Structure 1
Amino acid sequence: MKKITLLAPLLLSLGLGLSISSCSKYLDVEHFFDDRQSEDRIFKSKDYTEQWLGNCYNKLLDYNLEMGHRNYTISNYSDDMFYNESAGGNGDEYRRFKFGEYDYTWQRQSWAQSYGGIRQASVMIHSMAEGGAFTPKQVADYKAQARFIRAYLYWLLLRKYGPVPIMPDKGVDYDESYDKLAYPRNTYDEVATFIAEEMALAAQDLPLKRDNRNIARPTRGAALATRAKALLFAASPLANGNAEMSEFTDDKGRMLISAQYSEEKWARAAAAAKDVIDLNAYKLYTADFKAKGTADYPATITPPHHPEYSEKNFPEGWANIDPFESYRAVFNGDLYAAENPEMIFTRGENQTDENHGIIALTRHQMPQVGGGYNCHGITLKQCDAYAMNDGTTFNRQQIRQKYGTNMFVQKAELDQFKPLLENVWKDFAHREPRFYASVAYSGTLWTMSSATSNLSNVTNKQIFYYRGENEGMINGDRWLPTGIGMMKFVNPKDNATGNGGKIYPKVEIAIRYADLLLMYAEALNEINGSYMVASWDGKTTHQITRNIDQMKNSIGMVRIRAGVPNYDNAIYTDQAALRRQIKGERQIELLGENQRYYDLRRWKDAPIDEAQQIYGYNVYMTKDNADLFYTPVRVPQLQTIFSKKMYFWPVDWDELRKNRRMTQAPGWPSFD
């Protein structure tokens, strides 16, 4: 009888919605592998099966997190966000990453971690059978979870490394000869199709919803949403009709990325996104309108009157919602996972140590006066991308012409310029609500209200980034080279000073409904013909066309929830114009969610957007020259380039050495 590694007896529940403080510790079960047992014994025991599945889930953490600190989620930093800390304190790590020197642990470990999980999941899929402690329904669910994890790991690999080898379905027999253990890359389309087919299979046996205790286990929607994302990437310009990647081949010379464009791929992606929408299981989260408020939760700032949206309730309008709080609360820990109707997939509460997930990300964004590290922020390009509160484009020249020499908010003007405080620069006035939920501009109020002692020193601080201020330019790495911080993911109560406060747990939202709505509109916009595409389960057929009403409805929900008007019909009738708007909408809505880095690559926009000079404010200016601080300047330590090799991560030399059929991604050394 075949023997395999087994966990020692330890009951692991995968419900992360209760009192779990650390997913990393909770799911890290490899140190319990100390026995050799038969597959039959393992998968007839509930405890052993949970342990085996727990180790599969563990492979989704660490270097495979969707959102987090740069140690593990380096792809969270594109042309929108930056980090300033590094081992030497001189920012060189950021420079090397942005110049394509991908020689870090994250680049090597993600590959090994993912394929380890793929093997682990494959064993479970093919070894678990009815009997023992499980009913047929339970067996189907366990195997579907393992199938989801396996396909999700392939999805993570596809985004990073491009076309990767699809391993034998039943796993690898390590008793085979070396030659038989070498596998070539599959094509991009083959990998995307495999993910789509596997997720459809998993969806058949995954439930539509999970209870609170099992909130971190995948659902049918999670499987179908990942399927839609894989098909969208396969339809995008990087993988669809890209002759520039003709030299990306396997060991036999087969092209791995199609040089022939297929519009039908967009139709498949649109149909897959519609499969998720048609589940009717998700909706955008909205917070109620507040007539009165506090420093932590201010009263609703009503968007400028609009004849179409101001008098209607959501989703037709914003009359009954608080757009600022509706967006902010999705990310900052105010919502439990089970309370968030737009969350499609999560790993539960993110890790709480300083090197992993959203907790670490939050602390690196927070000012030092609140116990933070003040070294993660956003670029001026991202800051300027947010629209005005009436939906019009931000225009620095027009604003400065309007206010002239009166560019700082005066005490008598506070009501006119809410939520800005006194002495704040008016470039930040009257911007859309997502701006205030995401951008820590100079002069922002950080409430940090959970502290219980020394309150005057650690709570309700207006933070400026002028040189000479506590959070301004210093020697070292705890300052923001652009002079612009990031507020997204930060809870108004977060405080890490040791004065009785705490950083509140955050739920990692790996996939959410707003993303699916934008994906659906993007795919529809690229279609000129008409296509009949079967649903994921074959029970119905979608007629896919460039339907303006459906695109307008999908994008409109995202924008109206954010308190900004939907686009005019002239935009929707112009394919190129709508494409530009969708890209901009994703840049704003999905900031910090590990999307922008991959979006720019799949659109083939990275050679321009990622290579542009990075600008910020003039952080060398002191408070005495505050007006000069807001002069846009090039930021020398945050410069970047883009070369062709940076579309995909390289395969590590050790892997190339072990697998002689593996080929390297274009532009990277192959070590032949």
Structure 2
Amino acid sequence: MKLYTTAYLILSAMVLMIVIPSCKKSFLDIVPDNVATLDNAFANRNEAEKFLFTCYNALPNDANPDFNPGINTGDEFWVYWPVQASDYASLDPFNIARGFQNKVSPGMNYWDGFGGRSLWQGIRNCNIFLENIDKPIDLEPYMKERWVAEAKFLKAYLHWYLFRMYGPIPIVDKNLPISASAEEVKVSRQPVDSVANYISNLLDEAAAGTTTGLPDKITSLSTELGRVTKPAALAIKARLLVTAASPLFNGNADFNGLKNKDGKLLFNAAYDVNKWKRAAAACKAAIDAAEAAGVALYKFIPTFQDMDEDTKLEMTIRNTVCEKWNKELILGSTASTRAIQMTASPNFDPNNFNNGLRGQLAPTLKMAELFYTRNGVPINEDVTWDYANRYNLRATTADDKGLQSGYSTVGLHFDREPRFYADMAFDGSKLFMQNGLFKIQSKLEQTSGRKQTLYYSVTGYYTKKLINWNLVVAGGTTTENYPWPIMRLGDLYLLYAEALNESGDLSTPLVYLNKIRARAGLQTVERSWTNFSTNPGKFANQSGLRDIIHQERLIEMAFEGSRFWDLRRWKKAASMLNQPIYGWNVATKSFAEYNTKVLLYNQTFIAPRDYFWPIKENNLIVNPNLVQNAGW
């Protein structure tokens, strides 16, 4: 809901033009006499709170796959091509995934504004708020301190969002006055380390205070869900510092030549292990604050008693994301998740077909191969699992967990870990919903299969993890909204394990990895690798443990918009996103034909260019102090 007035929009646009002249002109030349001023905007407590909500409104809508850069832009999902532009708010994500990013009119251009969100304008609104919050005379001091902390968090988060996309960015700590000269408004990008330190310090300021400022948790559930807490600020700081310590930013010689017009280097090519130690300390502080506030790994508690243990485990995994405001969530978006649920879900009820259930959010075959075996190790390492024949058809029995009995599917789908069956659906799998257990049968013209040229899974897989189990199809489709998880405790545990390992601690990471694995129904890393892996000592050295941590993270965080950014910060995108995209032959009816591996696209990633977004070319003309990212 847009809470700002026309006056706020006009003023924000004017300030934006002053500070970043590369943005488009979108304000009126003449302001009518009766338009409210900033004095009106901060005349009292209620008006000031409205302006604070304006700052919140600048946050990108990550709950919608059309606007989240981490969803359809990589190799996690794929869609048939061409698609109808009318079905999506933007085709930018699909074009980026296909290698069609450009600098003339960049896709998902959050620098200039995208999806109804202008991040630089949002930063400036935060500055306006901080500069004027002393004006309301009826604002209680304790509330003012909290609102100031919220505005500082939002300003830090918007800088962070741009930093992750573009690397070195300008820092806009204060708005320039109307009287600023033309040279003053021609801002320059700041070095990576300076940007990371600035955001980190701002988050520290937001999280400061023991009795005032940000609350430890939200207590007014009817009015304040989605607002920032102290654990949320510390968790975003942890993510920022882990990113800044990662190979993309820490000792990356690929960007040695990226410098400002005055010669200032924007990347530090020297690796510094202390960045990992700092990140580990930030993760631990965030974990401590979250757990003290009652945050814990989610576990599903059924409301009826006749649910078997396997189903309880599946619902624990699925509802970690889909149960509203559950105890694992640290920071969630209040934007609607209906669009992503409808795009993820196939038609599953044979008695109720609905064209709105599109199943287009289709995981790729490489995602199906990512998950562990039931023994908790990669499929190509398990000494008991038939990796060589994984694409051959096999008949299912009543003993095969996660599969329909008396059916046929490929060996890849047998004897996999619980997260595989909880996160993904496919021909021969099952979908447990609040109103029943449904069989997913998705060969041509079957209930979940392709019936037309649109609205189907091009890979044969469906994203079960993102479908709330209360979705019902009967005379229409009813969905239960849940907050999109921006940060949850499992994510934070994995960041901590990674930072510890890179700092040289090889034992403590196992504690946190095993917490995640136990929740997923797996044995410990030590037991799984010792008893089932072709490389039983893998976890005992830093390199091997790094591989384990990375894969554990890619599995646990699958389909939540994390993989896209993780592959980049690890500098693995150049290898992973230069691989073909495969799926199954979904346009056929027989078991043998359907279960045939099909090439869908030869994906390309040009390094180091594609690690960062290009700045729109025209911006460099308007502001000659801005320099373009390498390769663009």
After TM superposition, the score normalised by the length of structure 2 is: 0.83
Q: How far does residue 590 in structure 1 lie from its aligned partner after superposition?
A: 0.7
**Equivalent residue for 2:296, pick from 260, 280, 283:** 283
Opposite residue 72 of structure 1, the aligned amino acid is F
Q: Secondary structure at the match of 1:272?
A: helix
Which residues of 2 match residues 616-655 of structure 1 at below 5 A? Answer: 616-623=583-590, 626-636=591-601, 639-655=603-619
Q: Distance in 1 between matches of 2:41 and 2:390?
A: 72
Q: What's 1:14 paired with?
A: none
Q: What's 2:67 paired with?
A: 72
Change (3 A) 1:206 1:331: same
**Residues 379 and 387 of structure 2 are in contact (CA less than 8 Å); yes or no, is this contact kept in structure 1?**
no
Q: Distance in 2 between matches of 1:490 and 1:95?
A: 22
**Residues 92 and 108 of structure 2 are in contact (CA less than 8 Å); yes or no, is this contact kept in structure 1?**
no
Change (3 A) 1:436 1:127: same
Opposite residue 488 of structure 2, the aligned amino acid is R
Q: What's 2:398 paired with?
A: 414
Q: Which runs of 5+ in 2 are unaligned?
A: 10-30, 348-352, 528-536
Q: What's 2:523 paired with?
A: 565
Q: Secondary structure at the match of 1:382?
A: helix
Change (3 A) 1:346 1:183: same
| 2:374 aligned with 1:389 | yes
Change (3 A) 1:601 1:584: same
Opposite residue 555 of structure 1, the aligned amino acid is L
Change (3 A) 1:132 1:105: farther
Which residues of 2 match residues 183-222 of structure 1 at below 5 A? Answer: 183-204=187-208, 205-211=213-219, 212=221, 213-222=223-232
Q: What's 1:514 paired with?
A: 490
Which residues of 2 match residues 58-97 of structure 1 at below 5 A? Answer: 58-60=57-59, 64-69=60-65, 71-77=66-72, 78-84=74-80, 86-87=83-84, 96-97=95-96
Q: What's 1:656 paired with?
A: 620
Q: Deviations over 1:463-522 (max 9, x none)?
A: 333234454456634222222221111123313x56154011121111111111100110
Change (3 A) 1:106 1:300: farther
Q: What's 2:100 paired with?
A: 101
Q: Distance in 1 between matches of 2:584 and 2:386?
A: 16
Opposite residue 187 of structure 1, the aligned amino acid is P
**Residues 67 and 594 of structure 1 are in contact (CA less than 8 Å); yes or no, is this contact kept in structure 2?**
no
| 2:132 aligned with 1:146 | no
**Residues 161 and 649 of structure 1 are in contact (CA less than 8 Å); yes or no, is this contact kept in structure 2?**
yes
Q: Deviations over 1:209-230 (max 9, x none)?
A: 1121212110111111111111
**Residues 617 and 630 of structure 1 are in contact (CA less than 8 Å); yes or no, is this contact kept in structure 2?**
yes
Q: How far does residue 653 in structure 1 lie from its aligned partner after superposition?
A: 2.8
Q: Deviations over 1:311-369 (max 9, x none)?
A: xxxxxxxxxxx43222211222xx331xx221111122x22xxxxxx321111122253
| 2:294 aligned with 1:245 | no
Q: Deviations over 1:587-620 (max 9, x none)?
A: 1111122111111111100000111111222334
Q: Secondary structure at the match of 1:509?
A: strand
**Residues 482 and 619 of structure 1 are in contact (CA less than 8 Å); yes or no, is this contact kept in structure 2?**
yes
* Residue correspondences, number: 569
**Residues 69 and 93 of structure 2 are in contact (CA less than 8 Å); yes or no, is this contact kept in structure 1?**
no
**Residues 90 and 477 of structure 1 are in contact (CA less than 8 Å); yes or no, is this contact kept in structure 2?**
no
**Residues 443 and 587 of structure 2 are in contact (CA less than 8 Å); yes or no, is this contact kept in structure 1?**
yes
Q: What's 2:546 paired with?
A: 579
| 2:316 aligned with 1:326 | yes
**Equivalent residue for 1:423, pick from 399, 407, 413:** 407
Q: What's 2:514 paired with?
A: 556
Q: Distance in 2 between matches of 1:182 and 1:400?
A: 57
Q: Deviations over 1:104-128 (max 9, x none)?
A: 6752245431100000001111221
After TM superposition, the score normalised by the length of structure 1 is: 0.78
Q: What's 1:176 paired with?
A: 180
Q: What's 1:50 paired with?
A: 49
**Residues 612 and 641 of structure 1 are in contact (CA less than 8 Å); yes or no, is this contact kept in structure 2?**
no
Which residues of 2 match residues 426-445 of structure 1 at below 5 A? Answer: 427-445=412-430
Q: Which moved more, 1:254-263 or 1:563-572?
A: 563-572
Change (3 A) 1:597 1:258: same
Structure 1 vs Structure 2: percent identity of aligned residues? 28
Q: Which runs of 5+ in 1 are unaligned?
A: 9-32, 303-321, 352-357, 451-458, 529-545
Opposite residue 521 of structure 2, the aligned amino acid is G
Q: Distance in 1 between matches of 2:458 and 2:6?
A: 49
Q: How far does residue 161 in structure 1 lie from its aligned partner after superposition?
A: 1.1
Which residues of 2 match residues 236-385 of structure 1 at below 5 A? Answer: 236-279=246-289, 280-281=292-293, 282-288=295-301, 293=306, 298-301=307-310, 322-332=312-322, 335-337=323-325, 340-348=326-334, 350-351=335-336, 358-368=337-347, 369-370=353-354, 371-385=356-370
Q: Secondary structure at the match of 1:278?
A: helix
Q: Distance in 2 between matches of 1:629 and 1:472?
A: 11
**Residues 89 and 476 of structure 1 are in contact (CA less than 8 Å); yes or no, is this contact kept in structure 2?**
no
Q: What's 1:307 paired with?
A: none
Q: Distance in 1 between matches of 2:489 and 2:309?
A: 24
RMSD of aligned alpha carbons:
3.0
Q: Distance in 2 between matches of 1:401 and 1:245?
A: 40
Q: Secondary structure at the match of 1:591?
A: coil
Q: How far does residue 79 in structure 1 lie from its aligned partner after superposition?
A: 2.1
Opposite residue 582 of structure 2, the aligned amino acid is Y
Change (3 A) 1:94 1:330: same
